Amino acid sequence: MAAILLRSRLLLPKPLTPAPFIRSISAFPFLSQEPQLQEPPSSPAASASPLPPSPSTGSPFYQENWRSPNPAPGVGPLVGGQSLVPMGPSATARMMAFSQTLDVSSLMNVFADWMTSQRWSDVKQLFEFWIRSLDASGKPNKPDVHLFNHYLRANLMMDATAGELLDLVAQMQEYQIAPNTASYNLVLKAMFQARESEAAEKLVDRMLQTGTTPDDESYNLVIGLLILMNQIDSALKYMDLSIKSGYMISSSVFMDCVRSCVNAGKLDTLASIIEKCKTTDQNKALCPSWNLCNYIADVALQADHSKLAYFSLEFLARWIARGEIARPPVLLSAEEGLVVSALGAAGRTYNSTLLDAAWSILRRSLRQKRAPSPETYLAKIYAHSSLGQLQRAFASLNEFETVYGNSEEVDQELFSPFTSLYPLVVACCTNGFSTLDSVYIQLENLSRADPPYKSVASLNCVILGCANIWDLDRAYETFEAISEKIGMTPDVHSYNALMSAFGKLKKTAEASKVFEHLLSLGVKPNATTYSLLVDTHLVNRDQKAALSVIDAMVEAGFTPSKETLKKVRRRCSRELDFDSDERLQSLAQRFKYRMGSELRREMLYNLEYSTNY
């Protein structure tokens, strides 16, 4: 109709005068010829106020059709589309129906029952169905961290990898669950089984950074794994952190750490760890096994590590005490050779604590059934002498004489101040005549005490000590005091000490008279007597007399030492006495000694010193 009206308007003739403006009737809107930008259509939602957030939180299944009464079994973000353990249709239906009847508390009870019987696949399957089921209010079930940890444990027991468990831990955030220490411990167990030490370190560091405090199980897992992978330094770092945090170290981890440190030679570090464990109530009861304690003691004593040796003896004492109170009792005893080594180490390292501990554990091991061996007494005397504890050293000598002084089974050379008791001689003359006088006065006073203490071996040490400081007067006076003041008879060691005092001052005639005097009294000389007489003649450059003494020594049934023959040969060489040298060579061949050469010593002897440069 509008088109017909438009065509009729165009057919009208144009008037001569302009006609007034007449609006045309049209059904089309007026189109402007100017270009305009198109404005974006305004949506009514943009101008409206926003809605509050969705209250459906706590489960990722709110994003799906969670109101479906029959969820697909085994489908969900936790299992990746398929269950690890396939189940039959009937079992799946029963499990699905069973999951819809449980709440959080009842599910925890079911899990507790099934984990006792190790039904790990059922625990995993039931949890997967339960989280897709609806609770009494018609909403998806929301697990807590304890339920989720049961699900993690089920996956761990079904040989899930550490990476899979980490993915499950990450998915706990979708349920608004914060993983706790137990959650990470399950992952650490998987890493321990797979020997992933680096990942375990990173996980523990992440726990410390995120505020999830590791517990004793966490530290024990990572320490045990690092020790297993021979990363001792890293393991010691976490062990130190565990001790500082106040956690308990398991006995197995402690023993592995001790064994690794000993094998690696980290004795100082091990001693520090043991000392730190002793300061905490949680770890002060830690103790290695009996065999491991003996191994620690052997290694520590070989290295003269007195502190670690003391700790090992302390562990042995604990085992002995435990065995005595056990029913039936188990009587454990430390080896006496180990105690002798400990006493020697105490003397070398000047550690009185180790000395007391070694003697105490020996007494406890012997249980008064027998006396300690002579070697043990001598080691104790040596230790006290090295420490300068003269009173305790002489007390040990008194005990030694009481037990073995009159025994025919013990060689009397054990009481010689030239060999066995020489450490005590050195201790007596440490400060010269002042120490010697102090010792002598105390021995003289003890001889008049009640009960009296009279010891020829003790006075012999004083005589030889005076000879070592070239004090002949004190040596001779002490020798005479044995019979005049103490009321005892000098023995062969007393005469030997007096001969040594004369020999050091080149008084050969006096020393020879002492030798003749003891023969006249019926005292049998020993090998030391002849050796001292040889040295006395060599001091005066009389090699022929020295050879005569050696011949008498051989006739008496003693064997001269190789060192004595070397001294005589050296004097023969310097005095150009070839006849005596030949006699000496025949003696050396007789006793099968390889004398060797003296070239280097002769070079030093023949050096010509001059002040001319």
Q: Per residue in 572-587, pLDDT tens?
A: 888 888 888 888 888 8
Least confident piece of the model among 308-312, 374-378, 520-524, 599-603 = 599-603
55 found inside a domain = no
pLDDT tops 90 at residue 303:
yes
Range with top average pLDDT, 16-25, 287-296, 451-460? 287-296
| Three-point CA angle 185, 187, 193, nearest 5° | 105
pLDDT tops 50 at residue 84:
no
pTM score of the predicted model: 0.76
Instruction: Grade residue 22 by pLDDT with cuts at 50, 70 and 90.
Output: very low
Rounded Cα gap, residues 316 and 363, in angstroms = 13
Instruction: Grade residue 203 by pLDDT with cuts at 50, 70 and 90.
Output: very high
User: Mind giving me the DSSP string for 258-327?
Assistant: HHHHHHHT-HHHHHHHHHHHHTSTTTTT----HHHHHHHHHHHHHTT-HHHHHHHHHHHHHHHHHHHHSS
pLDDT tops 70 at residue 82:
no
Those residues whose C-beta lies under 8 Å from the C-beta of residue 401, and which sit 6 or more positions away, are 415, 455, 457
Domain of 155 in residue numbering reads as: 60-179
Instruction: Grade residue 297 by pLDDT with cuts at 50, 70 and 90.
Output: very high
Mean pLDDT, rounded, of the chain: 84
Instruction: Grade residue 472 by pLDDT with cuts at 50, 70 and 90.
Output: very high
398 found inside a domain = no
pLDDT, average across residues 208-212: 89
CA distances from 371 to 154, 362, 376, 539 (A): 62, 10, 10, 44
pLDDT tops 90 at residue 569:
no
pLDDT, average across residues 526-549: 91
Least confident piece of the model among 248-262, 284-298, 401-415, 510-524 = 401-415
Least confident piece of the model among 77-91, 250-264, 294-308, 360-374 = 77-91
Cis, bond preceding 451 (omega within 30 deg of 0): yes
460 found inside a domain = no
CA distances from 367 to 320, 323, 361 (A): 11, 13, 10
- Higher pLDDT: 582 or 26? It is 582
- Higher pLDDT: 576 or 39? It is 576
Q: Decide which of 157, 179, 201 is a domain's last residue.
A: 179
Domain count, the chain: 2
Closest to 411 measured CA to CA, from 495, 520, 526, 523: 526
pLDDT, average across residues 431-449: 89
- Higher pLDDT: 476 or 60? It is 476
Give the H or E element holding residue 485. Answer: none
156 found inside a domain = yes
pLDDT at res. 1: 38
Instruction: Grade residue 540 by pLDDT with cuts at 50, 70 and 90.
Output: confident
pLDDT tops 90 at residue 346:
yes
pLDDT, average across residues 422-439: 91
Residue 409 half-sphere exposure toward CB, CA atoms < 13 A: 4
Rounded Cα gap, residues 412 and 496, in angstroms = 14
User: Do residues 525 and 556 make contact, with C-beta atoms less than 8 angstroms apart?
Assistant: yes
pLDDT, average across residues 72-89: 44
595 found inside a domain = yes
pLDDT at res. 47: 56
- Higher pLDDT: 399 or 79? It is 399
- Inter-axis angle of helices 508-520 and 527-539, nearest 10: 160
433 found inside a domain = no
Instruction: Grade residue 493 by pLDDT with cuts at 50, 70 and 90.
Output: very high
- Higher pLDDT: 64 or 407? It is 407
pLDDT at res. 60: 60
Strand, helix or coil at 412?
A: helix
Amino acid of residue 82: Q
pLDDT, average across residues 192-216: 92
Q: Decide which of 120, 149, 179 is a domain's last residue.
A: 179
519 found inside a domain = no
511 found inside a domain = no
Least confident piece of the model among 407-411, 507-511, 566-570 = 407-411
Instruction: Grade residue 19 by pLDDT with cuts at 50, 70 and 90.
Output: very low
pLDDT at res. 89: 57
Specify which residues 140 forms β-bridges with. 134
Q: What is the dihedral of CA 343, 349, 354, 359, to 10 degrees?
A: 20
**4 alpha-carbon distance from chain centroid:** 113
pLDDT tops 80 at residue 9:
no
User: Do residues 191 and 161 make contact, with C-beta atoms less than 8 angstroms apart?
Assistant: no
pLDDT at res. 598: 66
Rounded Cα gap, residues 523 and 517, in angstroms = 9
Instruction: Grade residue 570 by pLDDT with cuts at 50, 70 and 90.
Output: confident
Percent of the chain with pLDDT over 90: 55
Rounded Cα gap, residues 528 and 531, in angstroms = 5
User: Mind giving me the DSSP string for 486-510?
Assistant: S-----HHHHHHHHHHHHHTT-HHH
pLDDT tops 80 at residue 83:
no
pLDDT at res. 63: 54
pLDDT at res. 300: 96
pLDDT at res. 167: 93
Residue 6 in tokens: 């438009």
Q: Decide which of 138, 157, 179 is a domain's last residue.
A: 179
Rounded Cα gap, residues 2 and 59, in angstroms = 65
pLDDT, average across residues 468-483: 92
